[in-house]
Amino acid sequence: MNKRAFIFFVWMLSVQYLFALGTNNWVITTHSDENYNGVTLANGRIGLVSGIELFNVNDIVLNGVYDKEDKEGVSRIVRGPVFTNIVMKIDGEDVTRRNSYNWEQSLNMKEAYLETKVETPKASISQSLRALRNFPYMALSLVTVIPNQNIDLEVINSTVFPIELQNTSTSYKMLKDGEIELPVYVSTAKSRTGMQELATCSAFLFDTERPNIRSYYGVAHYQSMGFKVHLKKGISYRFALIGSICSSRDFFNPRAEAERMAVYALQSDIEHFLDGHKRVWERLWQSDIIIEGDDETQRDVRLALYNLYSFAGENTRLSIPPMGLSTVTGYNGHVFWDTELWMYPPLLMLNADMAKSCIDYRTDRLSKAMQRATVFGYKGCMFPWESDDSGEEATPTWCLTGPFEHHITADVAIAFWNYYCVTKDIRWLREEGFLVLSQVADFWVSRAVRNSDGSYSINNVVGADEFAPNVDDNAFTNGSAKTALLCAIKAANILKQVYPSEWKTVANGICFHYFPNGVMKEHKAYDGAVVKQADVNLLSYPLNILTGKENIKKNVDYYSKKIYEDGPAMGNAILAILYAQLGDREKSYEFFKKSYLPNKRPPFGVLSESAFSNNPYFCTGAGGLLQVLLSGFGGLRITDKGIVQENPLLPPHWKSLTLKGIGLNKKSFVVK
């Protein structure tokens, strides 16, 4: 696609997206399914990816649950059985499929649900779908039917199994406790190679007296459950389908746990689940980014925040894959630097508990990182470039990033230090944080090579710019290693721990290479080639190594012309932050928009990884654009003294920017 065609393509997508927007900047509404890319309803543990048709869920993605995907043993995050599937019939006619009925979908970001509405000749039907925030292994589908005439309504709940699942089965059960009858629908399966046992259990909840629930047999002789009721004209009828999904990764007996959750639901009411879910999201939105004077950008930012909050969890000890919980095919659901460098900083400013889950994930896998360092002949710990639940390297063996992209180990350490800077949790630093920081420092001391002039090089690495594999002295690798060593030294001083003198010697001696004009080379042999994404510029932000306005400008002007136009979104976000730091509001806003606007996909504006790809939702890119708001326009920085504000800069046409609920004290920063 040439540049002119691409600009037209982006314009057409923007027109579709703008058509979908309502006046409420908390809600995105669409009436078009053209080039449909679904949104994800998630709660940090499960993600439900929306489909076009009424009651349709394309996938349920299970965070932290993996199985082997191919003969080489590469792991992939698991899709669970889709237990939300409903077939609805009115007077015997199936109205589940969209057909020619009026159709509308709305994502309510404030209360985290997707509502689908259809108008049939005989009834108005609406369904709202939630991944329950207050019940992390459960989802709820709320259905309202308003008849235009007297009708007979039939509803059948069945399970759809992803093609890769094995040993699939379903059963309708009437559990009894004395006189209490508890009708539930259970589905079980095993993942592709049998590594994971999966179980779901669903049940119907009603506002009025429960109708007779009975067994059905459907496709491929799978058992289903459902009910029939007679409805009178104009009288609204509401019911809910609630279900749980459990795996052997989290439960010794996933089927029993899934059934217990459904039994709990049957002894509760619909409002109990709706109110609890709403209250959690009200609390999450106490930390928000508010733009006055630009409604479209406000929606874009809210959508990025909504997805980041959806994919992260509090006290889960789980991290976030690049695509969040929106797909299993995006990098196999593995965890990269995408978390620590891109998604984690906004979380740390806005919700430290969510951020801590991400570093808890690394703490839990430290022993495997230490083993990996030993395997490659180093000391300390060496975190994998791609991580699954095992903590071992999960990158495909043919890919050079697995053995050589070592900056991830420094990225983890920097995230750990920043957590202490924001929380000042010295007990955590003493009991958990310093153990990781010290092991990372030992790794870099053993990884660095002393040169004849007394400086230190880090050779044969893949840096952030993966277009340049197996180079010496990659700028970002060296810069992140230096930063990680200095973080470990500061932590040791706080804890009054004696640390090896080599930490300081190597940190002060790590070398960088420059062109005659003073621009830093991306690596020792860099000759001006196109780069995949920001690398050198990361030394200005977030590392704060390459400082001084003249120095920053020289490097940002140079590399802004070198970044590949179809590279990942985050590179332009870094340029936007640095131009904001330089006080150039026009260029800063230009690169901010460039960091995500070409990546929006209809009808909701979900983000793809690059301008030309179509693999939403790319939560790494969301992390980049949120950092522009927080650390570019908002001027917030995570420093040794905590979160401080330095030189905020408002885009030209905005009236104000409010960063709300920042840090542990939930402080607000206003830029006017």
Report, as residue numbers or ranges, the catalytic residues.
466, 609
Residue from 394, 311, 385 nearest 355 by CA:
311
Q: How far apart are CA 636 and CA 546, in angstroms?
A: 18
Other Cβ atoms closer than 10 A to 509: 17
Tokens in use for 371?
């083993």
**What's the DSSP call for residue 160?**
B
Compute, in degrees rounded to 10, the torsion defined by CA atoms 597, 602, 607, 610. -70
Largest Cα–Cα distance of the chain, in whole Å? 90
Q: How far apart are CA 10 and CA 612, in angstroms?
A: 10
**What's the DSSP call for residue 584?**
-
Do 540 and 546 touch, CB atoms closer than 8 A? yes
Residue from 201, 198, 202, 194 nearest 248 by CA:
198
Q: How far apart are CA 464 and CA 172, in angstroms?
A: 52
Do 56 and 29 touch, CB atoms closer than 8 A? no
Token pair 């700028």 is found at 475
Full strand arrangement of the beta sheet holding 656-662:
288-292, 656-662, 667-671
Q: How far apart are CA 477 and CA 464, in angstroms?
A: 8
**What's the DSSP call for residue 74?**
-
Q: How far apart are CA 257 and CA 495, in angstroms?
A: 43
Tokens in use for 244?
């749980």
Find the length of the chain. Answer: 672
Do 592 and 651 touch, CB atoms closer than 8 A? yes
Residue from 331, 384, 435, 350 nearest 76 by CA:
331
Q: How far apart are CA 386 and CA 608, in angstroms?
A: 20
Give φ, ψ of 284 to 5 degrees: -60, -40
Beta strand residue intervals within 91-222, DSSP E: 93-94, 102-108, 113-119, 123-131, 138-147, 151-157, 166-177, 180-190, 197-206, 214-217
Other Cβ atoms closer than 10 A to 290: 15
Do 548 and 513 touch, CB atoms closer than 8 A? no
Q: How far apart are CA 469 and CA 75, in angstroms?
A: 24
Tokens in use for 53?
């048709």
Counts of helices then strands in the chain (DSSP H, E): 18, 27
